[in-house]
Structure 1
Amino acid sequence: MADVKSPVSNPREEVPRDPETQQAELTDLPHGIDVEQYRATVPRWKRIWQHSLTQMVLLSIQAFCGPAMSDAITGLGGGGLATPQVSNISTAIRYAMLAVGGPIVNKIGVKWALVIGSMSFPIQGSAYYCNSKFGNQWYLILSGAISGIGTACWYVAEAGAIMTLAPSGARGKYLALWIVSRNLGQLVGGAINLAKNHEKGAEGGISPDTYVAFVIIESLAVILILCYGLPFALLIIPFERVVRSDGTKIVTAETLSTKQELRRIAKTVTSRLIMLSSLWALWSFFYSGSWSTYLGIYFSVRARALSSLVSPFFCIVGCFGLGFILDMKGLSQRRRAQIGLYTVIILNVGVYIWSIIMQVKFDHHNPGHIDWDDGIYAKSFLPYFFVQTTGPLSQSYMYWLLSSFATDAQENVRNGAAFRCIEAVGQAVAYGMNTQTTSDPIIGFGVTFGLLGAAIVPMIMLVNSTPDQIPADVVAEQQNAAREKLEGA
Structure 2
Amino acid sequence: MAEFDAAPPNTRAGGNDDNLRVKEVGNPSHNADEFDMVAYQNEVPLWKRIHQHSLTQMFLMSIQAFCGPAMADAIAGLGGGGLATPQTSNIATSINYACLAITCLFGGPIVNRLGTKWALVLGAMSFPIRGASYYCNSKFGIQWFLIFGAFITGTGSGCWYVAESGTIMSIAPSGARGKYLALWIVARNLGQLIGGAINLSKNHQAGAKGGVTPDTYIAFLIIESLAFPFAWLISPLHNVVRSDGTKVRVAEKLSTKAEFKLIKVTMTSKLILLSALWAVWSFFYSGTWSTYLGTYFSTRARALSSLISPFFCIIGCFGLGFILDMKSLSQRRRAQLGLFTVLILNTGVYIWTIIMQTKFNKHSPGKIDWVDKLYPSAFLPYFFVQTTGPLSQSYMYWLLSSFATDAQANVRNGAAFRCLEAVGQAISYGMNTQIKTSPLIGFCVTFGLMAAAMGPMILLVNSTPNEIPADVLDKEEHERELEDHQNQQKPVGEKDEDVNFSVNRV
Category of TM-score, reference length = shorter chain = over 0.9
Instruction: Give, in whole Å, the separation in 1 of the partners of 2:112 and 2:309.
Output: 35
Q: How does 1:359-370 map to 2 (within 5 A)?
A: 359-370=357-368
Residue among 351, 354, 358 paired with 1:353: 351
Q: How does 1:337-348 map to 2 (within 5 A)?
A: 337-348=335-346
Contact 1:6/1:479 (<8 A) preserved: no
- TM-superposed CA distance for 1:258, in Å, is 1.0
Instruction: Give, in whole Å, the separation in 2 of the partners of 1:191 and 1:91.
Output: 22
- TM-superposed CA distance for 1:35, in Å, is 2.7
Contact 2:342/2:391 (<8 A) preserved: yes
Instruction: Give, in whole Å, the separation in 2 of the partners of 1:275 and 1:421.
Output: 13
Corresponding residue for residue 96 of structure 1: 98
Deviations 1:272-327 (A, max 9, x none): 00000000001000000100000000000000001111001001110000000000
Instruction: Give, in whole Å, the separation in 1 of the partners of 2:100 and 2:224.
Output: 19
Corresponding residue for residue 162 of structure 2: 156
Instruction: Give, in whole Å, the separation in 2 of the partners of 1:483 and 1:42.
Output: 25
Contact 1:4/1:252 (<8 A) preserved: no
Contact 2:25/2:254 (<8 A) preserved: no
Corresponding residue for residue 9 of structure 2: none
- TM-superposed CA distance for 1:197, in Å, is 0.4
- TM-superposed CA distance for 1:6, in Å, is 5.1
Contact 2:82/2:211 (<8 A) preserved: yes
Corresponding residue for residue 62 of structure 2: 60
Contact 1:74/1:292 (<8 A) preserved: yes
Contact 1:30/1:479 (<8 A) preserved: no
Corresponding residue for residue 499 of structure 2: none
Contact 1:289/1:430 (<8 A) preserved: yes
Instruction: Give, in whole Å, the separation in 2 of the partners of 1:294 and 1:453.
Output: 22
Contact 1:31/1:250 (<8 A) preserved: no
Corresponding residue for residue 412 of structure 2: 414
Instruction: Give, in whole Å, the separation in 2 of the partners of 1:92 and 1:384.
Output: 21
Corresponding residue for residue 274 of structure 2: 276
Q: How does 1:414-433 map to 2 (within 5 A)?
A: 414-433=412-431
Q: How does 1:311-322 map to 2 (within 5 A)?
A: 311-322=309-320
Corresponding residue for residue 11 of structure 1: none
Corresponding residue for residue 186 of structure 2: 180
Matched, 1:209 2:207: no
Corresponding residue for residue 14 of structure 1: none
Instruction: Give, in whole Å, the separation in 2 of the partners of 1:120 and 1:381.
Output: 33
Deviations 1:233-269 (A, max 9, x none): 2321221111111111111111011111011121010
Contact 1:179/1:319 (<8 A) preserved: yes
Paired residue secondary structure (2:464): coil
- TM-superposed CA distance for 1:32, in Å, is 6.6
Query: Structure 1 stretch 416-425 or stretch 44-53: which is displaced more?
Result: 44-53
Paired residue secondary structure (2:253): coil
Residue among 447, 452, 457 paired with 1:449: 447
Matched, 1:305 2:328: no
Instruction: Give, in whole Å, the separation in 1 of the partners of 2:54 and 2:35.
Output: 14
Contact 2:29/2:252 (<8 A) preserved: no
Distance 1:361 1:235, change over 3 A: same
Deviations 1:149-195 (A, max 9, x none): 10001111111111111000000000001012112222211110000
Instruction: Give, in whole Å, the separation in 2 of the partners of 1:65 and 1:2.
Output: 36
Corresponding residue for residue 376 of structure 1: 374
Tell me which stretches of 4 or more aligned residues in structure 1 moved more than 4 Å: none
Counterpart code for 1:240: H
Paired residue secondary structure (1:328): coil
Corresponding residue for residue 85 of structure 1: 87
Counterpart code for 1:448: T
Counterpart code for 1:235: L
Please list every run of 5 or more consecutive structure 2 residues that lacks an aligned counterpart in the other structure. Answer: 1-23, 489-506
Contact 2:29/2:249 (<8 A) preserved: no
TM-score by length of 2: 0.89
Contact 1:114/1:233 (<8 A) preserved: yes
Corresponding residue for residue 330 of structure 2: 332
- TM-superposed CA distance for 1:31, in Å, is 3.6
Contact 1:242/1:250 (<8 A) preserved: yes
Higher-Rg structure is 2
- TM-superposed CA distance for 1:370, in Å, is 0.2
Query: Structure 1 stretch 261-270 or stretch 297-306: which is displaced more?
Result: 261-270
Instruction: Give, in whole Å, the separation in 1 of the partners of 2:459 and 2:34.
Output: 33
- TM-superposed CA distance for 1:485, in Å, is 2.8
Counterpart code for 2:28: K
- TM-superposed CA distance for 1:354, in Å, is 0.4
- TM-superposed CA distance for 1:438, in Å, is 1.6
Contact 2:116/2:237 (<8 A) preserved: no
Paired residue secondary structure (1:30): helix
Deviations 1:83-103 (A, max 9, x none): 110000000000000011122
Q: How does 1:225-236 map to 2 (within 5 A)?
A: 225=229, 232-236=230-234
Counterpart code for 1:345: L
Instruction: Give, in whole Å, the separation in 1 of the partners of 2:45 and 2:209.
Output: 58
Corresponding residue for residue 459 of structure 1: 457
Deviations 1:448-476 (A, max 9, x none): 00000000000000000000011000111
Instruction: Give, in whole Å, the separation in 1 of the partners of 2:393 and 2:209.
Output: 34
Distance 1:31 1:71, change over 3 A: farther
- TM-superposed CA distance for 1:2, in Å, is 5.4
Contact 1:4/1:408 (<8 A) preserved: no
Deviations 1:396-428 (A, max 9, x none): 000000000010000000000000001100100
TM-score by length of 1: 0.92
Query: Structure 1 stretch 368-377 or stretch 174-183: which is displaced more?
Result: 174-183
Instruction: Give, in whole Å, the separation in 2 of the partners of 1:324 and 1:33.
Output: 29
Corresponding residue for residue 248 of structure 2: 250
Corresponding residue for residue 134 of structure 1: 140
Residue among 68, 71, 79 paired with 1:69: 71
Deviations 1:58-113 (A, max 9, x none): 11111121111111111000011121100000000000000111222212111111
Counterpart code for 1:5: P
Please list every run of 5 or more consecutive structure 1 residues that lacks an aligned counterpart in the other structure. Answer: 8-28, 226-231
Residue among 320, 323, 326 paired with 2:321: 323
Q: How does 1:463-482 map to 2 (within 5 A)?
A: 463-482=461-480
RMSD: 1.2
Instruction: Give, in whole Å, the separation in 2 of the partners of 1:427 and 1:221.
Output: 23
Matched, 1:5 2:28: yes
Contact 2:71/2:191 (<8 A) preserved: yes
Instruction: Give, in whole Å, the separation in 1 of the partners of 2:216 and 2:226.
Output: 16
Matched, 1:197 2:203: yes
